[in-house]
Structure 1
Amino acid sequence: MKTRDRILEKALDLFNREGLAKISANRIASEMGISPGNLYYHFNNKTLLVEALFRRLEGELAPLVATFASVTALDDVWVTLHAAFGTMEKYRFVYSDIDYRTREYERLGKRIKKTTEGAINAIRRMCGNLANSGVIVADDADLDSLAFHIVFTATCWSTFVKLMPVKSPDEIAAGLAAYHVLSLLSPYLAPEARPYMDYLQGKYLKLGPLRAR
């Protein structure tokens, strides 16, 4: 692995575990066993390093967001949801302490807002597709609300899960998040779609502790 990629991987690990604010470029270099000068050769400052990681996140989320916009069946919803939450969990530092992120990294804050807007629009189209396919029964106001709450759950999940009374929240985050997003669709399900939704949610229940204990 190239040094630049190793720097990004180590930074991602440290940012996720200890938070963006606590980790300096020098700390990353020290953890890697390289000189600060070697790190600064690849990234002149911490901001450039953070922005490089966010570009990675954007690149990994882009095909999933595109998929959401074309989803018409519940089976595709849960597969794409799980993949999306897994990706967001991988870069969870972006969604933790979002106020600090947007205040201290202005350019990043603008890009996060743009990414969020794109996600809301894609999920809104997904919900519209489900309604047109007869999977859910919902009017325009319902679809707008669903899209908002699905993206709200996704973007706030990494912070909220830390408040859950479970021993290892990180281990269940993606499955638990996908389970509860599926639950947001439940009140709008057409009768013929409910048995399959029960089946999908049951699959998550078999994976482990999805409820607070």
Structure 2
Amino acid sequence: MDLKNAVAVVTGANRGLGRHISSQLLDRGATVYAAARRPETVDLPGAIPLRLDVTDEESVRAAARVASDATLLVNNAGISTSTPLIAGGLDAVRLEMETNFFGPLAVTRAFAPVLEGNGGGAVLNVLSVLSWLHPAGLGSYAAAKAAAWAMSDASREELAPRGITVSALHVAYMATDMAAGIPADQKADPAEVAAQALHGVEAGLPEILADATTRYVKQSLATSPNAA
């Protein structure tokens, strides 16, 4: 995909990885709708603030009507509540699933006809190494990201005949607010992750593995959990 002429909608664009992706798209010459629940928090010069709450389907539909020229969708918005599946509160588990799975699904469903109507395009889903690695303390986040991985694979097959590619970005910890409590030497630079993500979209890669931890975990998927 030629990102120079892209018209991108980036969810969660007001901070973190979403802001880096939006900034780099602007640098490449793309038009960027910087989507956020509170568009007044978008402070990126050149971006078009767009109200979009991924957990509110009317908000999603309204955003698709505004950004009717979109050719690229970046499903970046997400949360982590550090909630285990058994001992944690069920409301928090549901919130993570609503935000990290049903939200991106709703946005993709709303924007698929837009992308198709504009001659095809691309979807980038921001996932996690926890799509495949499922620690108990982050069970709700891991379950939602695993579901979003399945969504990425299934929607890729479903959208291909409509001229839409789907790429999934997997990454471990990044130097963003979500990983504020993690030591700095364990976190990737979100600017570098954004650059890898956009390169993968340009190349039409189905999966983008953004750091050594993610590549190691993906390679280990073929190993039995009971192996020595």
Q: TM-score range by the shorter chain?
A: 0.3 to 0.5
Bigger Rg, structure 1 or 2: 1
More strand by share: 2
More helix by share: 1
Q: Structure 2-normalised TM-score?
A: 0.31
